Amino acid sequence: MTNRKCFMRNYIQIYNSMKKLPFSGYLINGSNGEVAALSIEERLQILRHVHQNVDRNRLLLANAYCESTKQCCEITKLLASNGADAVLVLIPFYHRRSLNEDAILAHFRTVADSSPVPVVIYNNPGVTNLDISTQTILKLAEHPNICGVKEDNVSKIAELMGEIQNKKLNFEVTQSSGSKLLQSLVVGACGGMVSLPNILGDEVCQLYKLYKENKLEEAAKLQYRLASVDTMLILANLGVPGMKAALDLLGLYGGPCRLPLQPLPSHDIDKLKDRLAQNGFL
């Protein structure tokens, strides 16, 4: 099987396993989808497949990552014309030393001005080595075509929610880490765009359900278990190889990584397997 066929099989199987879960939408071509290793046509191919099969009551969000504002504007239009309901936009970080607040504002506003669909800001300092400040996010939130942010920092989420309510802005804040989902919901986030449902979709949905039912003690216990796995994948730098290995361990299809990423070493697979088992997921 060619690497491209493996890649499509991976996406299709994961998506099919999620169709019955009560997600409000899907984010495709994200970090764990190896977006940086995909050609534009591969990204569109994945989007078209999901669009043809997705419940149209669910939001379909696609990652529009590119290393220039012009390219980001162009791919945003392609994503919209191929079925995306909204796009996720990351800072182009190759020239991060020159990206002051004016540059960041110009990038997002230019993309939002040209985009046929709403734009969601993705603040990911772990990848970009740039942290978009609360005040910059709030300035961007005033743009009519910028509808939300994907943010990891719980303190910043709490600060944003306070300012959004004070200013009466129509702007949503979501958590980007599965290990911090409950904490973020408690301080006002509307939900999460997290990678953990790739392997533990039922459990993440159960966490949200427990929160909505105000069963916070049960929710906290489940959050501890989810965080144990999520922090191992993130903080131990297992990353994409770790997510693929977890999929394989849970009976789904992880498949090979694209170079330069390497398969997870066997000793790390054993540690991951133990962690999943210890928390009742395997």
Beta carbons within 8 Å of 34's beta carbon, 6+ residues apart = 7, 240, 257, 258, 261
209 included as an active-site residue: no
Please check whether residue 157 is in contact with residue 188, taking contact to mean a CB–CB distance below 8 angstroms. Answer: yes
User: What is the rounded distance in angstroms from the CA atom of residue 199 to the CA atom of residue 195?
Assistant: 8
Query: Which amino acid does the sequence have at 76?
Result: T
User: What is the rounded distance in angstroms from the CA atom of residue 69 to the CA atom of residue 132?
Assistant: 17
Catalytic residue (choose from 150, 156, 180, 244): 150
- Please give the full DSSP string across 23-77, using - where no structure is assigned: -SEEEES-GGGTGGGS-HHHHHHHHHHHHHHS-TTSEEEEE---SSHHHHHHHHH
Beta carbons within 8 Å of 108's beta carbon, 6+ residues apart = 89, 119, 121, 140, 143, 146
Active site members: 150
